Structure 1
Amino acid sequence: MSVIVIEFVTLDGVVDDPDGRAGTPTGGWAFRHGPDAVGADKFRLGSLLETGTLLFGRTTWELFAKLWPGRTGEFADRLNKMPKLVASRTLADVGAWQNSALLQGELTEAVARETGDLIVIGSIGVVRTLARHDLVDEYRLLVFPSVVGEGRRLFDGMAADLELVSNTQVGAAVLNTYRTRRA
Structure 2
Amino acid sequence: MRKVIVTEFISADGVAEVEKLTGVAWNAEMDRFKEEELADSGAMLLGRVTFEIFAGSWPSETGDFADRFNALPKYVASTTLTKFDWKPAEKLEGPLPEAVRRLKQSAGGNIYVHGSISVAQQLLHHGLVDRIRLLSYPIAVGQGKPFFAPGEQQKFELISAVPFSNGVVALEYEPG
TM-score by length of 1: 0.85
Quote the offset at 1:35 in angstroms: 2.1
Quote the offset at 1:162 in angstroms: 0.6
SS of residue in 1 equivalent to 2:121: helix
Alignment deviations for residues 115-152 of structure 1 (CA, whole Å, 9 cap, x no partner): 34211001011011111111111100100000011111
1:160-179 mapped onto 2 (5 Å cutoff): 160-170=154-164, 171-179=166-174
The verdict on how the C-alpha distance between 1:37 and 1:176 changes in structure 2, with shifts beyond 3 A counting, is farther
- Partner residue, 1:24: none
The AA in structure 2 aligned to 1:176 is L
Alignment deviations for residues 13-49 of structure 1 (CA, whole Å, 9 cap, x no partner): 0012x1x3xxxxxx2x2x4211217964534315323
Q: Higher mean Cα deviation, 55-64 or 147-156?
A: 147-156
Q: CA–CA distance in 1 between the matches of 2:38 and 2:73? A: 15
- Partner residue, 2:151: 157
Residues 10 and 143 of structure 1 are in contact (CA less than 8 Å); yes or no, is this contact kept in structure 2? yes
Among 109, 112, 128, the alignment partner of 2:121 is 128
SS of residue in 2 equivalent to 1:4: strand
1:11-160 mapped onto 2 (5 Å cutoff): 11-16=12-17, 18=18, 20=19, 27=20, 29=21, 31-36=22-27, 40-43=31-34, 44-49=36-41, 52-95=42-85, 97-114=86-103, 115=106, 116=108, 117-155=110-148, 156-160=150-154
Q: CA–CA distance in 2 between the matches of 1:122 and 1:80? A: 16
The verdict on how the C-alpha distance between 1:57 and 1:145 changes in structure 2, with shifts beyond 3 A counting, is same
RMSD: 1.7
Q: CA–CA distance in 1 between the matches of 2:28 and 2:151? A: 28
Q: CA–CA distance in 1 between the matches of 2:29 and 2:142? A: 21
Residues 4 and 137 of structure 1 are in contact (CA less than 8 Å); yes or no, is this contact kept in structure 2? yes
Residues 164 and 177 of structure 1 are in contact (CA less than 8 Å); yes or no, is this contact kept in structure 2? yes
Task: Report the number of matched residues.
Answer: 168
What are structure 2's unaligned runs of at least 5 residues? none
The verdict on how the C-alpha distance between 1:172 and 1:67 changes in structure 2, with shifts beyond 3 A counting, is farther
Quote the offset at 1:74 in angstroms: 1.6
The verdict on how the C-alpha distance between 1:71 and 1:40 changes in structure 2, with shifts beyond 3 A counting, is farther
SS of residue in 1 equivalent to 2:76: strand
Give every structure 1 segment of 4 or more consecutive aligned residues whose post-TM-superposition deviation is greater than 2 Å. Answer: 37-44, 169-172
Q: Percent identity?
A: 39
TM-score by length of 2: 0.88
1:180 aligns to 2:175 (yes or no): yes
Residues 84 and 90 of structure 2 are in contact (CA less than 8 Å); yes or no, is this contact kept in structure 1? yes
Q: Higher mean Cα deviation, 32-41 or 123-132?
A: 32-41
SS of residue in 1 equivalent to 2:60: coil
The AA in structure 2 aligned to 1:42 is F
The AA in structure 2 aligned to 1:144 is Y
